[in-house]
């Protein structure tokens, strides 16, 4: 009896019954709501935002946070949920990840009690959607150089600037926006602001004509003399530590999530190879095909074990940023290799929307560079190994 790639490794005994149940619940959600529709969303360059409320009803939004209506699951459960969501599409996982690991985490970790009470219960329920404004048109890997700035005007703050490549931006109810507040101390004076998206001067036009992450809303944020009250600032953090700690939360989800895209490619390819006949034999019966399948399965299994190990470290409060870089660098890099190799087995069928292979491959091109490019993660790891900072 043929086995699936992760069944071959017998991973179930490494997971608790609660972790297996959460993974099964999210997989069922993806099978019901995402798989039947995602090819159409991708073709249209859009996503059904009813998913937000449905994900909230399942407890998926901010699920690894505690209190304020959040589910309070462990890190491994959150990772497994990301894996199952990204098996549907990277855009769906991004929607959930930006909501929970970036926007909600920033409020939960650095917000005032009033800010938490105002936003977190509604966001956990899927009644409010958030976005996270850090990246700028000219500052991605170097956020310390951001041009968006906030100045005091009496008791208020006035924000001006532009953010780019912001997931959920055009549909969000609130944006966490990071801005310079001290021109004499770039980076050190960075503060986070909660910006309701109906604030005068705030706009979020969609980024159009994408060839990747098409089943996802990507936006530019424009802040034109956006006036905010004093209590809009996140009070518990100053400097890059704030946004970078949020990014590490999201990167952790990608360590697992990218494996979901790879698993879906491999499962699809296995099913295809068993039924596709070439020279009167199944494609699966050829040595070259089996060699590719075996190599891809091995990389998927190794990536899962790495992700699970990092998850256990996170649950034990022992996970360091450079370890997250190890996971993100390896698993996304291997996932995109798996997607490309699967495409070779499907041949011309692999480039059509009838199969998910090319959609996953295109999405992973974005996942490869967002939340830190591969090169950034190489430098993080290199610095941990050598003690030398090679960023500048």
Q: List residues with catalytic annotation.
A: 371
Which of 329, 330, 360 shows the shortest CA–CA distance to 343?
360
Angstrom distance (rounded) from CA 9 to CA 7: 5
Task: Tell me the DSSP string of 172-202.
Answer: -SEEEEEEES-TTSTTTTEEEEEEETTSTTE
Q: How far is CA 34 from the centre of its chain?
A: 16
Question: Which residues does residue 191 pair with via DSSP β-bridges, in sequence order?
Answer: 179
Cβ neighbours for 106, distance < 8 A, ≥ 6 positions apart: 132, 176, 192, 234, 242, 243, 246
50, 356, 373 from 89: Cα distances, Å:
16, 9, 20
Query: CA-CA-CA-CA torsion for 217, 223, 227, 231, nearest 10 degrees?
Result: 50
Q: Whats the size of the chain, residue-wise?
A: 392
Contact 315, 26 (CB under 8 A): no
Q: Please, what sign has the CA dihedral across residues 319, 325, 327, 328?
A: positive
First-residue to last-residue Cα distance in the chain: 54
Q: What 3-state DSSP class applies to 333?
A: helix
């Amino acid at each position: 009896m043929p086995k699936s790639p992760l069944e071959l490794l017998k991973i179930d005994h490494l997971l608790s019954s609660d972790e297996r149940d959460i993974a099964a619940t999210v997989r069922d959600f993806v099978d019901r709501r995402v798989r039947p529709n995602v090819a159409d969303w991708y073709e249209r360059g859009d996503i059904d935002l009813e998913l937000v409320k449905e994900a909230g009803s399942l407890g998926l939004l901010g699920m690894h946070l505690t209190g304020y209506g959040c589910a309070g699951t462990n890190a491994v459960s959150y990772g497994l949920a990301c894996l199952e969501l990204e098996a549907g599409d990277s855009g769906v996982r991004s929607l959930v990840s930006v909501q929970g690991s970036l926007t909600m985490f920033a409020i939960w970790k650095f917000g005032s009690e009033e800010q938490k009470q105002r936003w977190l219960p509604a966001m956990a329920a899927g009644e409010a959607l958030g976005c996270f404004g850090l990246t700028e048109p000219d500052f991605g890997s170097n956020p310390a150089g951001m041009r968006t700035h906030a100045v005091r005007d009496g008791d208020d703050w006035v924000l001006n600037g532009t953010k780019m490549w912001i997931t959920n931006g055009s549909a969000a109810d609130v944006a966490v926006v990071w801005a310079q507040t001290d021109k004499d101390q770039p980076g050190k004076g960075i503060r986070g602001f909660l910006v309701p998206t109906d604030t005068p001067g705030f706009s979020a036009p969609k980024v159009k004509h994408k060839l990747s992450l098409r089943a996802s809303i990507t936006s530019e944020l424009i802040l034109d003399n956006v006036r905010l009250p004093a209590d809009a600032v996140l009070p518990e953090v100053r400097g890059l530590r704030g946004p970078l700690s949020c990014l590490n939360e999201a990167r952790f989800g990608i360590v697992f999530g990218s494996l979901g895209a790879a698993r879906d490619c491999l499962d699809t390819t296995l099913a295809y190879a068993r039924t596709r006949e070439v020279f009167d034999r199944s494609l699966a019966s050829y040595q070259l095909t089996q060699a590719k399948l075996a190599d891809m399965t091995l990389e998927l299994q190794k990536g899962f074990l790495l992700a699970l190990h990092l998850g256990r470290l996170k649950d034990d409060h022992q996970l360091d940023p450079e370890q997250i870089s190890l996971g993100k660098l390896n698993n996304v890099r291997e996932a995109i290799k798996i997607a490309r190799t699967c495409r070779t087995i499907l041949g011309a069928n692999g480039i059509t929307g009838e199969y998910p292979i090319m959609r996953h491959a295109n999405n992973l091109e974005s996942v490869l560079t967002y939340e830190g490019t591969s090169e950034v993660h190489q430098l993080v790891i290199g610095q941990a190994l050598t003690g030398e900072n090679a960023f500048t």
